[in-house]
């Protein structure tokens, strides 16, 4: 059975080259002291990256954009249950947290920023959903 192909549509907001500057801005948003994901690399490491090392991330992120293939390790997540309060034997007193590879999170922050700009510029979010946007009143 032949699967129909979706035509490739280009959009400058979504498809533009990921620059070292965008990567630096994404890393700046990351909070230090947070747990690393499935790899031992945390945000403190990236915040101290020499400028020329950011070019390796630039190459990686743009290769992912052009090939549409991301490292399989980025799909490996670690989920833990974090105790909130109350009876430790009551499952409803726990909330799940998922640890994700920090490199993947830096990359997806950039993509999220692009998608947010795209849906905003294209006016794709109905007024009834505006409370769920950053700065909206939920």
Residue 138: predicted pLDDT: 45
Instruction: Give the up-direction half-sphere exposure of residue 134: CA atoms within 13 A in the CB hemisphere.
Output: 6
H or E element, residue 12: helix 12-15
Provide the whole-model pTM.
0.78
Mean pLDDT by 10 residues, the chain (138 residues): 75 90 94 81 89 94 93 90 94 92 93 91 80 56
The answer to whether the CB of 69 falls within 8 A of the CB of 132 is no
Residue 132: predicted pLDDT: 59
């Amino acid at each position: 059975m032949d699967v129909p192909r979706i035509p490739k549509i280009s959009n400058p907001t979504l498809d533009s080259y990921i620059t070292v500057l965008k990567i630096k801005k994404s890393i700046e948003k990351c909070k230090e002291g947070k747990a690393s994901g499935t790899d031992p690399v945390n945000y403190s490491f990236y915040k101290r990256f020499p400028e020329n090392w950011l070019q390796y991330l630039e190459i990686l992120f743009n290769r992912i954009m052009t090939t549409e293939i991301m490292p399989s390790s980025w799909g490996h997540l670690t989920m833990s249950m974090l105790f909130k309060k109350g009876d430790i034997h009551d499952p409803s007193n726990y909330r799940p947290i998922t640890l994700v590879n920090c490199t993947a999170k830096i990359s997806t922050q950039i993509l999220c920023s692009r998608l947010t700009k795209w849906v905003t510029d294209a006016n794709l979010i109905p007024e009834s959903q505006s409370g769920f946007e950053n700065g909206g009143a939920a």
